[in-house]
Structure 1
Amino acid sequence: MAQHLDTHKGLHSEHGAVRGEHPGRSTNPVIKVRDLAWLEFEKPDLERAERFARAFGFTTVLRTEHELALRGTDAGSACVIIRRGPRSRFVGPAFAADDAADVKRLAAATGRPTSSLPEAIGGLVVELADPGGMPVRVVAGTRDLAELPAQQPHRFNFGRELVRINNTQRPPREPARIQRLGHVVLQRTRYRRSLDWYLDHLGLIVSDFLYYPGQRERGPTMSFIRGDRGATPTDHHTLALVLGPSDRYVHSAYQVCDLDAVAAGGEYLRENGFQRSWGIGRHIQGSQIFDYWRDPDGFLVEHFSDGDMFDNTLEPGWAPMTASGLAQWGPPVTKDFLGITPTKESLREMRSMMTAIRDDNEFDLTRLRGLLKVTRS
């Protein structure tokens, strides 16, 4: 058995766990998924969705009257599927299992049937529902799309290490080319129950826990969760869960090749009239260089590059959740990113706060005070 490392000082978080805290992994998960496969959305205007998607850096795989499939340059499946619907909403994620046997094992353990995916996608699927009622698909045997020509990272002269001579740097202002889907962040009113569900059923493991300042004894309120692929490094987080007053999508993130792709791609988006939410900066948990944008329907999406990659030996880190602690460098976190700019969505979230503290869930009055403290920190 691999030795688990607790190397948080100076690495990726402030502290490790103290005795009795959540271990960040299940002792006997049903299966261990390999990665996120794709995310599914519904939107009433597919034409508008595709215009933004192309400016953001996706390539269209499929376009019909009722469905839009978007991919990155890496080999694999489409990473976003958008179907026409009466309103804009996030439907749910699909996770990739290693093989059909894992899908069948998960189906048997949960009493759910398996079915074949459409011919264009191929493979087997079992559809579950997480504790928030959101559909969660687990798939295997899907058809891989061939790799596309990728945007190449730049070469840099650092100090006296010269690798670029008689050659200029002129990154064009054009869409960053999405390489792949990185992660999705979800808010849950029953955060702890949801966390344990994903660890127990899908074999995911926690990279970092965050807790409200002064409330560590009540347990974490956010977790950054990665796949367990043994000695093979994987993204710092494939899924992140955060406690909040409603069950909702927060954002999804897509990898691009380097900082120039993030920055020049952002300039292209800005010049074409799209709304930056927050960026450019570098996160603490995960270390990604980030840039957040709003699509025309208000959904938050992220370009990122240079994220942390962990194998399964690293133990979870623990740190207080603060607004100022979201980045190592970059502009101050915006009200838009925090969801406190007056919009229809933020007003809906405020109403949810009043409802949630009266309901039977984890978001009580003490947690509400903790969240408000975070937004002011």
Structure 2
Amino acid sequence: MGVKDEPWVKENPDRVKLLGPVCVAYGHPDLERTHTYLTDFGLVESFRKDEAIYYRGYGVQPVAYIAKKTAVPEFLGVYFEAAGLTDLEKATKIPGAGAISDFAGGGKVVQIIDPSGIPFHVVCGLEKREFTPPKENCQPYNFPSPTDDDVEAKPRRGVFHRMKKGIIPVHKLGHCGLIAKDFDISFDFYCHHFNFKPSDVVLGPDGSMMMVFLHVDLGKSYSEHHSFFVAQPQGPLPPGKPHHAAFEVNSIESQFIGHDYLSHKGYTSFWGVGRHIEGSQVFDYWFDLDGFLIEHYTDGDLVNEDTPIGWIKRDPKDGNNWGPALPQIK
């Protein structure tokens, strides 16, 4: 099996319908040190329970990041929301699945251990919070025009574009990626058991499979270009581990303000600011204090069932429209 076998097309009456990502969970030896980092990154503490801190963004999901106390740094999985209780029950039939249990963030959850040994969770019954976007930190743009009287091209009139520096609030978890032990097996697993569908398939210069960006297939309704992806092992990133988790912010201006703030705090930048090819997001990658990759992004593409699948052959280092070249992970 593999991408060319199109497992997302094949009928599966037990396929679990997902609506989108909810949160990620990581284990950290020093929770208070991690807490400082995550709040500087733009997440907000929601509550604490059983040696874990639960964080949210300003979006509707009650949780965006779970930091648990562990002896060593550890990826504890990604959580996706099921369309309903029937889909949560279907999730218990997937190989590697456990029983339905309570989710500390609200509702119910099923944990599934995927073919690479990575936890994947399906949740249902979450109590959504009010959408509380921050006050816009930037003004409308003024664009070139034959005359300054053009109010459509130059809407900012008598107002100065002076922005506040500091922490940039996170909206939500947008996507998470995994490095598979066996690419074809993992890809087939996720597309057979869940409503994931490829948006872009990335091939190396020799035509070998590098990664597949997957969106949640909601039919005619649109969803983000990718909320999940499966990748081949890349350099020092080992199989059976996370690639990165990405959190949405509200604007490109915010990306740069956040980048400057994190740099000023002395954190370690990996790659950014730049704009991706697949998905078009403006990206900014950082290492957290335990060496995990974490990303701010904004302005990503939306797709639906009518969007053709892209097959892209490129060098692994050519992952952006503009911005710095992809550095090597050491």
TM-score, with length taken from structure 2: 0.90
- Of the three residues 107, 111, 114, the one matched with 1:127 is 111
Whether the 8 Å CA contact 2:116–2:239 is kept in 1: the answer is no
Whether the 8 Å CA contact 1:103–1:114 is kept in 2: the answer is no
Paired with 1:333 and 1:277, the residues of 2 have a C-alpha distance of 9
How many residues align? The count is: 314
Greater helix share, structure number: 1
- Identity fraction in percent: 28
Cα deviation for residue 324 of structure 1 reads 3.9
State yes or no: 1:227 paired with 2:220.
Answer: no
- Alignment match, 2:129: 145
Cα deviation for residue 248 of structure 1 reads 1.1
Cα deviation for residue 56 of structure 1 reads 0.6
> In the superposition, relative to structure 1, how do residues 84 and 109 fare at CA in structure 2: closer, same or farther (>3 Å)?
closer
After superposition, the C-alpha distances for 1:24-73 in whole angstroms (9 at most, x for unaligned) are: 72422412211112111111111011101111111110135711111110
> In the superposition, relative to structure 1, how do residues 64 and 101 fare at CA in structure 2: closer, same or farther (>3 Å)?
closer
After superposition, the C-alpha distances for 1:276-332 in whole angstroms (9 at most, x for unaligned) are: 111111000000011111111111111101000111211211112413420000112
Whether the 8 Å CA contact 2:200–2:309 is kept in 1: the answer is yes
State yes or no: 1:50 paired with 2:35.
Answer: yes
Whether the 8 Å CA contact 1:66–1:84 is kept in 2: the answer is yes
Q: Where does 1:1-377 land on structure 2 (aligned, <5 Å)?
A: 21-23=4-6, 25-29=8-12, 30-64=15-49, 66-108=51-93, 110=95, 112-118=97-103, 121-152=105-136, 154=138, 155-160=140-145, 161-216=153-208, 220-244=209-233, 246-335=239-328, 339=329, 341=330
After superposition, the C-alpha distances for 1:117-138 in whole angstroms (9 at most, x for unaligned) are: 14x5332222211110112111
> In the superposition, relative to structure 1, how do residues 241 and 112 fare at CA in structure 2: closer, same or farther (>3 Å)?
closer
Cα deviation for residue 215 of structure 1 reads 3.0
Name the SS of the counterpart of 1:53 in structure 2. helix
- Alignment match, 2:150: none
Q: CA RMSD in A?
A: 1.8
Name the SS of the counterpart of 2:270 in structure 1. strand
Greater strand share, structure number: 2
Structure 1 runs not aligned, ≥5 long:
1-19, 342-377
Name the SS of the counterpart of 1:282 in structure 2. strand
Structure 2 runs not aligned, ≥5 long:
146-152
Paired with 1:303 and 1:109, the residues of 2 have a C-alpha distance of 32
Cα deviation for residue 111 of structure 1 reads 8.3
Cα deviation for residue 192 of structure 1 reads 0.9
> In the superposition, relative to structure 1, how do residues 195 and 111 fare at CA in structure 2: closer, same or farther (>3 Å)?
closer
> In the superposition, relative to structure 1, how do residues 84 and 313 fare at CA in structure 2: closer, same or farther (>3 Å)?
same
